[in-house]
Amino acid sequence: MASREYRERRMANKRSRKPSGKQVRTQPPRSCKRTQHRTLSTTPSEQEQRPTLDQLPENVLLRVMQHLDVDTLLSCRLVCRRLGVLSLHPGAWRRRTLSTIDVEGENTLTCAVLRLAPCLQHVTVVLPLGQSACRHLHTSTCAVAGLEVKDVAWTSHAAALATRLIQRQATIGRLKRVGVRFRESTVSEADAPVLLGALMSTPGLEELALNVRLSQPFELSSSMCGEFWLERGSSLRRLYMAVKGAEPFAQFLLRMHAATLEEVHFLGLYSLHVRMSISTLQLVAGLPRLRELTLHHDQPGLGFLAKCVSLRTLNIVVVEGEQYSAGAAERLRQTRQRLDVKIRRMGADVAL
């Protein structure tokens, strides 16, 4: 009887020690050595110290976004709310450039940039605009620091289109550099006052490059000169100009920005090289901060430049196929010992 009770207690103890469910592994299999090593070597404190994307500061994320292409940067808006805000931050766009060349598949991206980007470093508008050109070009709120308008074929009212772009960016207030270069198009008599007036009225302009052909000589009225003189102060530092028939406009710029002009280049693209009058050269010689000057090799009145004590570099340009006489430049070099006179021979379609 005692042996029977002993056997029953022993069987009960065995049943109590038997697991009720499926056994769960607490460690990875022995064959997975890489996972086992990582699990054993990484403590919870080390996992907490690893930085995540949410823990990175905004300046680091903006620095990374500066190196992304435009398509990827715009796609960041769909990742999360924080990246969506940073993808439209001025710091991610301030150094980027944009060109409106009519290429199939590129206009959609151009429209997205002009519609969403807060600012850009430089925008190049190539005329004529195609049928699929961005409709936000003249209404964009994107603040541009540099704007260039040029043509690759004849465009009707090219000057009017350029004027609208310049006036739009001047209203936004970040425009510092403007270039208008027309190779095929001609500025009509009606469009010339509007275009040149927009350039004169742009506040804070530091660089201007104007290379156009006027259908008729342009004359500035005294009322127009007085209006712009009172409204705008001196800000222009670099002037690149080759406009036949608009010397009064050049003289007005030299007078208006005399206190800040440092470089003056009377040289243009596309074989459009102008020779200024002696009165214009006298204004140039009177600029107090002028450091560099570019002139055509047969420019009259080079002797007046001896009075410009701040001038350090004089570029004498000889276009391909023209004969050059170095008499006036050599006399000027002897008069001014610190003046560096450079003779540059250039092709007809190459600018300095």
Cα separation of 332 and 339, whole Å? 8
pLDDT at 299: 81
DSSP label at residue 214: B
pLDDT tens per residue, the chain (352 residues)?
556 777 777 777 766 665 555 554 545 445 444 444 444 445 555 555 666 777 888 899 999 999 999 999 999 999 888 899 999 999 999 999 998 865 444 567 888 899 999 999 999 998 887 776 777 888 899 999 999 999 888 887 889 999 999 999 999 989 999 999 988 788 888 888 889 989 988 989 999 999 888 888 877 665 555 555 555 678 999 999 888 778 888 999 999 999 999 999 987 654 456 778 889 999 999 999 999 999 887 788 888 888 888 999 988 888 776 666 666 666 666 666 678 888 877 754 443 3
Show Cβ contacts of residue 163 under 8 Å, excluding neighbours closer than 6 positions. 191, 194, 195, 198
pLDDT at 90: 94
* Class of 97-221+232-261 in CATH: alpha beta
pLDDT at 287: 94
Render the burial of 307-326: b for 16+ CB within 10 Å, e for the rest. ebeebeebbbbbbeeeeeee
Question: How much of the chain is in helix, strand and coil states, percent to nearest 5?
Answer: 40, 20, 40
Name the strand (E) or helix (H) holding 239.
strand 238-244
Cα separation of 93 and 141, whole Å? 14
Could you report the per-residue pLDDT of 283-334, keeping only the tens digit for each?
999 999 999 999 887 788 888 888 888 999 988 888 776 666 666 666 666 6
Beta-bridged to residue 163, according to DSSP, are: none
CA dist 273 to 76, 193, 213, 241, 276, Å? 48, 22, 11, 9, 10
Report the first-to-last Cα separation within the chain, whole angstroms. Answer: 120
Could you report the per-residue pLDDT of 211-255, keeping only the tens digit for each?
888 888 877 665 555 555 555 678 999 999 888 778 888 999 999
Do the Cβ atoms of 130 and 105 come closer than 8 Å? no
pLDDT at 129: 79
Name the strand (E) or helix (H) holding 56.
none
Do the Cβ atoms of 282 and 250 come closer than 8 Å? no
Q: Answer left, alpha or beta for residue 241, where phi above 0 means left and psi between -120 and 50 means alpha.
A: beta
Domain range list for the chain: 55-92, 97-221+232-261
CA 168 to chain centre: 16
Give the three-class secondary structure for 194.
Answer: helix
Do the Cβ atoms of 88 and 79 come closer than 8 Å? no
